[in-house]
Amino acid sequence: MRILVVNVNTTASMTEGIAGAARQAASAGTEIIGLTPTFGAESCEGNVESHLAALGVMDAVLKYSGEFDAVIQAGYGEHGREGLQELLDVPVIDITEAGAALAMFLGRRYSVVTTLDRTVPLIEDRLLLAGFDSHCVSVRASGMAVLELEEDPRAAIDAIADQAAEAVEQDRAEVIVLGCGGMAELGETITERCCVPVVDGVAAAVRLAESLVGLGLSTSKVRTYAPAREKKLSGWPLGQSATAESAPSDSAAPRPA
Amino acid sequence: MRILVVNVNTTASMTEGIAGAARQAASAGTEIIGLTPTFGAESCEGNVESHLAALGVMDAVLKYSGEFDAVIQAGYGEHGREGLQELLDVPVIDITEAGAALAMFLGRRYSVVTTLDRTVPLIEDRLLLAGFDSHCVSVRASGMAVLELEEDPRAAIDAIADQAAEAVEQDRAEVIVLGCGGMAELGETITERCCVPVVDGVAAAVRLAESLVGLGLSTSKVRTYAPAREKKLSGWPLGQSATAESAPSDSAAPRPA
Amino acid sequence: MRILVVNVNTTASMTEGIAGAARQAASAGTEIIGLTPTFGAESCEGNVESHLAALGVMDAVLKYSGEFDAVIQAGYGEHGREGLQELLDVPVIDITEAGAALAMFLGRRYSVVTTLDRTVPLIEDRLLLAGFDSHCVSVRASGMAVLELEEDPRAAIDAIADQAAEAVEQDRAEVIVLGCGGMAELGETITERCCVPVVDGVAAAVRLAESLVGLGLSTSKVRTYAPAREKKLSGWPLGQSATAESAPSDSAAPRPA
Amino acid sequence: MRILVVNVNTTASMTEGIAGAARQAASAGTEIIGLTPTFGAESCEGNVESHLAALGVMDAVLKYSGEFDAVIQAGYGEHGREGLQELLDVPVIDITEAGAALAMFLGRRYSVVTTLDRTVPLIEDRLLLAGFDSHCVSVRASGMAVLELEEDPRAAIDAIADQAAEAVEQDRAEVIVLGCGGMAELGETITERCCVPVVDGVAAAVRLAESLVGLGLSTSKVRTYAPAREKKLSGWPLGQSATAESAPSDSAAPRPA
Amino acid sequence: MRILVVNVNTTASMTEGIAGAARQAASAGTEIIGLTPTFGAESCEGNVESHLAALGVMDAVLKYSGEFDAVIQAGYGEHGREGLQELLDVPVIDITEAGAALAMFLGRRYSVVTTLDRTVPLIEDRLLLAGFDSHCVSVRASGMAVLELEEDPRAAIDAIADQAAEAVEQDRAEVIVLGCGGMAELGETITERCCVPVVDGVAAAVRLAESLVGLGLSTSKVRTYAPAREKKLSGWPLGQSATAESAPSDSAAPRPA
Amino acid sequence: MRILVVNVNTTASMTEGIAGAARQAASAGTEIIGLTPTFGAESCEGNVESHLAALGVMDAVLKYSGEFDAVIQAGYGEHGREGLQELLDVPVIDITEAGAALAMFLGRRYSVVTTLDRTVPLIEDRLLLAGFDSHCVSVRASGMAVLELEEDPRAAIDAIADQAAEAVEQDRAEVIVLGCGGMAELGETITERCCVPVVDGVAAAVRLAESLVGLGLSTSKVRTYAPAREKKLSGWPLGQSATAESAPSDSAAPRPA
């Protein structure tokens, strides 16, 4: 089974980290392919960047020439999963939703901890739309940016673990869902301090994708995610104009789904 | 006061129709500028097209060189309003939300009537996220596509008016919000048949935009819609690469907000 | 266009203040008529007073002999808007709801700040019934009464601004809706301290009323606000018996709507 | 124990019927006093009439010179219970809420059946505000007015029983709450046809009032229903001016609570 | 009228206390019979113990050979009420739900105060399923176990009263529902400190049971609580095998309902 | 990895069928052990039977002497999962919840189709408590009992497929979750007729259990599912008295967790 794990931002080293985490979580026999969008933000932390990511991820998948069995969108709170589900016939999993879903099997209430305060609304909106919000007691932010994580990882980890501790004590969370990536030690630190399970969205998404593929299940095509109607699209797929690939960008192109 | 009314699709004749409707609704002294994205779908009726529209609309606004006091995103159910609010300092109104908000002052419950069944979820998601959903008793679709409206307008109007009548009788709607554009007669037909007020989103948005501008109010910048952090963006604004304008597409470009 | 702005209490000087605020918010060409009930409380701060206000406002409108295009009920949390909608053919706007509706276009979540703790439930009930509650993160009270505002305005403003600051920091409000009137400086103080937009209900209501009138929209009459059935009413309109006007108070009187 | 049962309308024969039903439901030792407002509608079926009823009921209670242990507001969907709770130190029960509360102990979901369609929203609003709405699957109306009930009781009963049957079959109600009064046979007819318990609001209210009095419980006075602040009220209690009783109508009158 | 009050745990002295409280709350002419399960936990404070209690209570009722008019399940948050309703033709009241229902007539919002933190989720789940949750602002725990109450009653009472005070001040509760039993002084202490009504679930349940019986109402049998289908049950009623009573445990035994 | 799949009823042939379905869904290397309770109903279709199942399942797990990595409770709507989570240190999955969770990744809204109408409330309650209810548009019943399925499988399949078709067309479900077991052809029939994915709870639960075990995740023990407090339990584990195994039934027995 081959799963595409698509980073929402353009930083290739992050894609490596995400793909590595995915590989660690994957079952034997699952191949993980990390994809990086060719356009968008180096790190996604806001609404415009989220909209760019939606297209960047779809574009990266459309340009991928190999076969694949499932797609994971690897970002916390970004738009775009619905588009992928419409576009593709294989299962699509967003890591924000995957982490929440597994958390709901591990405890009565969960919290998401993330970095910047400005990504909290994006994560909340994702959970609300996906219907995994009712057991989420809080989405908390440490106030440190994604890139700061790399500069002072220990401080970043402590700041997020502080939020996790407050989530457990004050918000009555029983499970912590990570709403940010890239830190191997973060989960361990939180588990040690708070004695609660910590769910990493990437790992959760890999297992959920494997589950759906293994059961022969994929996205329903009867209404919301039915294949797009044939029509004239301009400038899409975007990657085509950017990379000067063959098809004219201004035609009624065939869609994968 | 100058209001940009940005079509979500690339069909310029539709932009004309929308701008015309906006002008009819506008107060004296309000100038309406219709904008058409340079990329995206000729008509938006799905998830991918909605994501394209989000960027297409932002791109069109960023490329507009004049001054303006407010922006209206003219589409039913498309993504992107949050991005515009982050990007701009002036008020931003989505017509799906505008129609719903005014409808709530006119009757106890409202329904939205639209064309294709596949846009129903998109409209429902918009209303849910915007918080205008609790008085919405249904989003109903006639089953006719946007472009079919032009081919047989009478049949299209009747099909939608049928849904409006069912909304009033079965769903107990007291107000109808139009979830599709381009038909001067539609509102009148529904009002005649159902004896309920009919709210057009474009008209509602124009008046709400005028209201906010008139009261000196604009988007809060304290958290969700705070200006984006300085960072490296690739391939954005997209229009720049498409139209070969000056700035390199791969730089930390200054943002309007 | 002529808009009646009806105070919910019997203090004429407050009516003056409200009408003044309405005039400042109104477009050119809008005439504001302030009305004061002939019975009720000098300031509304509770349930009985709210019920009295409901009748007092309707009574004042029924006794007004001129023509008018819309009615604004100027009170925070008082009952009565539904009665006015049933009674009248022109649009009716409650300022509690108007402020909330506009706030929802300005930020993701809003708070209402008011004076006395005992009016908090009344405001919450209004927002819940009107369907504008889901983005309201709190209704906060400063603990100072309406009339205390006049005695020590600076202290009153500071106390309310303190609540606004807590709403922004603790409740994650991005917009503040004023839940009390009469203080020109309050909005400015809050904006300065909290850097968020501040919506005044009276101003919002004026613009919304103008919008509905401008678009030719008014209350739906199909169910909830259909004209009352012909029947025998005793002692109503109340003002008639009080002011000894012509019609007998105990007859099946014709209703305006 | 003495319980005041206050009719919401001015038709004394209805008060008799309601008081009779209350007496049948009451325990031995409970005295039922029926009160009729001196102003308001002969039958309450709308928003204005509901607001009139709110004051009419409070006025009738204030004018009652005897002692009493609890007050029941006998109307389906009318305003005013909150005012009574603020005004009085004894327990206050609204029959709309009482019927719903007992129904929730008898089956998983309940429906309310009433006469006119226009009273449905009023009943729904009451249940929503009182927090008894989540197990209510529908409020259904037969389309016959209160006074028609007297003209052709059999047809009226059948029309309401039809709605009850549809509630059980289509809405999955397991209990029926009567949302209208005055018909001894109605409950029996519904129970026979639908095999479900039928709760009459008046009877439920009597027992709930007895329960609260028996347990020494009454309305909390810490916030929402705290006694009104001392202030100048004009024209209240209304009954005083209408019936020329002693106290001047324009003074800071002492309140019972 | 005879009401069975069934303790959820096996400590007979607690049953005595509960029955005593029930007798104090009962009307003249009501006989209270306290029952103790023959198996289960000595005090219920968790999920397994709650499931045991569900069966233990049903078993105790099935083994009771006398006649009875209603059954009260006396535990805070335990499972089983739905089973009793299916099993019996007489009304069934759970004290957790009874306390909440009466509290809703006494103030706008209520809180439940209990002993151990681990019972909070059980109580919350009961209220959610029963539909009495929307006015519940918190379920708070003192952190002291049921059995500790007996060792140091004064400290236990103070710890719970502290939670009640925080519920009133911080959570804006206006009524306190006791979520634990056995302390005569607790209610008085809370009322003195917080000036709010305190509802004891046992007392509330007795009065509600009397009310339903008095009105001739009992559980609806049309769907959720319809009598069980005839089928083979093994090891049930459990008490039979335990006490070696007559009927074989492995047969299609007749059910009471 | 070894997973216990515990039937909720006592019919061993059903356990075989369930274990078979589990084995088909399992990954290579996963061993499935089917367990049948020694007491309870031959088929669970109601509240009492559900409560019996809760204990029967826990009892069967406690009596199982081997090692295991996860437990699946195989019943649609039965109580007991919370008890298992408290009792055990390994992950616990209920098939009702598992089917719903996976369905939410496959389409925007899902329906559950089951056999008897009387199990609908039980399934709804499970989904509500587990927080997977917001995307569930209906739980529909065919009206045929579990055991009838075996007598006329074709008719039973058709009756359920009819409900699935109505769910897709009328309730706008995009995914069907099976709320009953034992029919290999059912899923295929529904997929053929309705063109939507069909999720079997047993299969979903197996994959989710494997996922949690694979990721090293298990139930949080900080509050709701913390190990039970040491105390005296009578008659538990029930199986002990029934099967005359060693430990006395009336002692403070050590718990697995």
Read off the pLDDT of residues D139-190 as tens digits, 9 standing for 90 and up. 999 987 766 767 788 888 899 999 999 999 999 999 999 998 766 688 999 9
Nearest to F172 among A168, A203, A223 (CB): A223
Q: Which of A43, A231, A238, A255 to mutate to test the interface with B (most CBs of B within 10 A)?
A: A231
Q: Indicate whether E14 pLDDT > 80.
A: yes
Helix, strand or coil, per DSSP, at residue F173: coil
Minimum Cα–Cα distance from C101: chain B residue: B101
Q: How confident is the model at residue A238 (pLDDT cuts 50, 70, 90)?
A: low
Q: Which residues pair with A32 in a beta bridge?
A: A3
pLDDT tens digits, B192-233? 999 999 999 999 999 999 999 999 999 999 999 999 988 888
- Indicate if D110 and D194 belong to the same structural domain: yes
* Chain A nearest C-alpha distance from B187 (Å): 27
* CA F68/CA F209 separation, integer angstroms: 12
Rounded-to-integer distance, Cα C124 and Cα C117, Å: 12
Are C51 and C124 within one domain? no
| Whole-number Cα distances in Å, E79 to A178, E51, E133, F51, F238 | 34, 6, 16, 8, 18
Domain CATH code at residue C103: 3.40.50.12500
- Angle in degrees, CA E76, E78, E83, rounded to 5: 130
Q: Looking up tokens 């699509």, which residue turns up?
A: A92
Cβ neighbours of A93 in F, within 8 Å: 105
- Report the residue from C27, C101, C217 with minimal CB separation from B27: C27
Least confident of B24-38, B242-256, F71-85, F210-224: B242-256
Please give the share of chain C, as a percent, with pLDDT higher than 90: 77
**What average pLDDT score do residues F208-225 get?**
97
Instruction: Tell whether the model's pLDDT for residue D98 goes beyond 70.
Output: yes
CA distance A154 to F221: 27
C138 contacts: CB under 8 Å, gap ≥ 6:
C111, C112, C167, C171, C173
Instruction: Tell me which residue of C175, C140, C200, C157 sits closest to C20, measured CA to CA.
Output: C200
Q: What does the block give as tokens for C67? A: 């023509």
* Chain segment C59-111, per-residue pLDDT in tens: 999 999 999 999 999 999 999 999 999 999 999 999 999 999 999 999 999 99
Q: Do residues F49 and F22 both lie within one domain?
A: yes
Residue E136 confidence class, pLDDT cut points 50, 70, 90: very high
**Together in a domain, E183 and E87:** no
* F183 confidence band (pLDDT: 50, 70, 90): low
Out of D134, D175, D211, the one facing E131 most closely (by C-beta) is: D134
The 8 Å CB, 24+ separation contacts for E127-132 are E127/E96, E127/E97, E127/E100, E128/F128, E128/F129, E129/F125, E129/F128, E129/F129, E130/D104, E130/E94, E130/E96, E130/E97, E130/E100, E131/D104, E131/D132, E131/D134, E131/D135, E132/D104, E132/D131, E132/E97, E132/E100, E132/E101, E132/E104
- Residue E246 — very low, low, confident or very high, per pLDDT cuts 50/70/90? very low
Nearest chain D residue to C39 by CA: give it.
Answer: D234
Tell me what percent of the residues of chain A surpass a pLDDT of 90: 77
pLDDT in tens, E49-73: 999 999 999 999 999 999 999 999 9
CA–CA distance, B256 with B68 (Å, rounded to integer): 12
Is position A256 within any domain? no
Confidence of residue C146 (pLDDT cuts 50, 70, 90): low
Q: Is it the case that chain D and chain E have 3 or more CB pairs lying under 8 Å apart?
A: yes
Which chain A residues are closer than 8 Å to B50 by Cβ? 83
Q: How many CB atoms lie within 10 A of CB F252?
A: 10
Domain-located, residue B139: yes
In terms of Cβ atoms closer than 10 Å to its own Cβ (0-12, 13-18, 19+), residue E147 is middle
Which residues are bridge partners to E113 per DSSP? E140, E178
F138 and F86 in one domain? no
Domain co-membership, B140 together with B235 = no
Mutate to test the interface with D, among E169, E220, E221 (most CBs of D within 10 A): E220
Tokens at residue B231, please? Answer: 């960072």
Average pLDDT over residues F143-148: 73
**Could you tell me which of F86, A110, F125, F253 has the C-alpha nearest to residue E46?**
F86
Structure tokens at B41: 């779908």
B30 and B125: one domain?
no
Minimal-distance CA residue of chain E relative to F85: E47
Which chain D residue has its CA at the smallest distance from C251's CA?
A: D41
Asked whether residue A252 carries a pLDDT value surpassing 80, the answer given is no
Report the candidate in D231, D228, D234 with the shortest Cα–Cα distance to residue D250.
D234
One domain for residues C209 and C194: no
Residue D195: other Cβ atoms inside 10 A: 12
Report if residue B221 sits inside a domain: yes
Q: Give the nearest partner residue to A38 out of B41, B51, B235, using CB atoms.
A: B235
Please give the distance of CA B226 from its chain centroid, rounded to a whole number.
22
pLDDT (0 to 100) of residue E146: 62
Out of F83, F118, F125, name the one closest to residue E223 (CB).
F118
Complex ipTM: 0.92
Please give the tally of structural domains in chain B. Answer: 2
Closest by Cβ to C234, choosing from D40, D80, D223: D40
Q: What mean pLDDT comes out for the span B44-52?
A: 94
Rounded distance, CA D178 to CA D181, Å? 7
pLDDT above 90 covers a percentage of chain E that reads 77
E82 is a domain residue: yes
Written as six digits, the tokens of F97 are 């919840």
DSSP state letter for A129: H
**Closest D-chain CA to E203:** D215
Among chain C residues, CA nearest to B199: C217
User: With contacts defined as CB-CB under 8 Å, which chain C residues touch B133?
Assistant: 134
- Determine the angle formed by the axes of helices F184-194 and F153-169, rounding to 10 degrees: 40
What's the pLDDT score for residue B23?
97
Quickly state the pLDDT bin for B184 (edges 50, 70, 90).
low
C169 and C215 belong to one structural domain: no
Share of chain E above pLDDT 70, in %: 89
Q: Which residues in chain B touch residue A234, judged by CB atoms under 8 angstroms apart?
A: 10, 38-42
Q: Are residues C196 and C222 in the same domain?
A: no
Identify the pLDDT of residue E255: 40
Residue D219's pLDDT band, with cuts at 50, 70 and 90, is very high
Residue C257 falls within a domain, yes or no?
no
The conformation of residue F92, written as its DSSP 8-state character, comes to E
Q: Which residue range is the domain that position D217 belongs to? A: 2-94+205-242
Output the pLDDT for position A256.
Answer: 47
Residue B244 is predicted with a pLDDT of 31
Sign of CA dihedral E38, E44, E48, E54: positive
For residue E60, tell me if it sits in a domain.
Answer: yes
pLDDT of the residue at F184: 65
**How high does pLDDT run on average in chain D?**
90
Task: Give me the pLDDT at residue E234, please.
Answer: 84
Taking CB atoms and an 8 Å limit, are E211 and D197 in contact across chains? no
Strands (DSSP E) along C105-171, which ranges? Answer: 110-114, 136-141
- How big is the CA angle at C206 (ends C205 and C208), to the nearest 5 degrees? 60
pLDDT at residue B250 tops 50:
no
- For chains A and B, CB pairs below 8 A equal 144
> Does position F242 have pLDDT exceeding 80, yes or no?
no
Q: Taking the model in full, what pTM does it have?
A: 0.93
What pLDDT digit, counting tens, does each position of D85-95 carry?
999 999 999 99
Res. B181 pLDDT band, cuts 50 70 90 = confident
Residue ranges of chain E whose CB lies within 8 Å of a chain D CB: 25, 27, 91, 93, 97, 101-102, 104-108, 130-135, 168, 172, 174-175, 194-197, 199, 203-204, 207-208, 210-212, 214-215, 217-225
Tell me the pairing of strands A233-234 and B40-41: antiparallel
Distance CA E211, CA E94 (A): 14
Please, what's the b/e burial string for F10-30 (b: 16 or more CB within 10 A of its CB; e: otherwise)? bbeebbebbbebbbebbbeeb
* Residues D195, D102 share a domain: yes
Convert the pLDDT of each residue in C43-56 to its tens digit.
898 999 999 999 99
CA distance E173 to E119: 20
As a whole number, the mean pLDDT across chain F is 90
- pLDDT tens per residue across span C205-247: 999 999 999 999 999 999 999 999 888 888 777 644 433 333 3
Query: What is the rounded CA–CA span in Å between residue B235 and residue A53?
Result: 11
Q: Which helix (H) or strand (E) holds D163?
A: helix D153-169
What is the tens place of the pLDDT at every residue in D3-44?
A: 999 999 999 999 999 999 999 999 999 999 999 999 999 989
pLDDT at E238: 61
Task: Please identify which residue in the block is written with the tokens 């209270």.
Answer: E32
Residue type present at position A251? S
F89 and F102 belong to one structural domain:
no
Region of poorest pLDDT, from B6-10, C18-22, E147-151 = E147-151
pLDDT in tens, F146-163: 667 677 888 888 999 999
For B66, phi then psi, to 5°, come to -80, 180
Confidence of residue C148 (pLDDT cuts 50, 70, 90): confident
Residues B166-178 pLDDT 10s: 999 999 999 999 9
Strands D2-7 and D70-74: parallel
Chain C nearest-CA residue for B198? C217
pLDDT at residue A247, rounded to an integer? 36
Of the pLDDT bands very low, low, confident and very high (cuts 50, 70, 90), residue D238 is: low
Distance from A3 to chain B by nearest Cα, in Å? 21
Chain F partners of E46 at a C-beta cutoff of 8 Å? 86, 226, 228-229
Asked if A80 and A143 count as a contact pair (C-beta separation under 8 A), the reply is: no
Contact B193, B161 (CB under 8 A): yes
Mutate to test the interface with F, among A132, A172, A212, A222 (most CBs of F within 10 A): A222
Residue E16 lies in a domain: yes
With respect to residue D250, please indicate whether it lies within any of the assigned structural domains.
Answer: no
| Position B153 confidence tier, pLDDT thresholds 50, 70, 90 | confident
What pLDDT is stored for residue A153 in this prediction? Answer: 81
Q: Subunits that touch chain D (at least 3 Cβ pairs < 8 angstroms)?
A: C, E
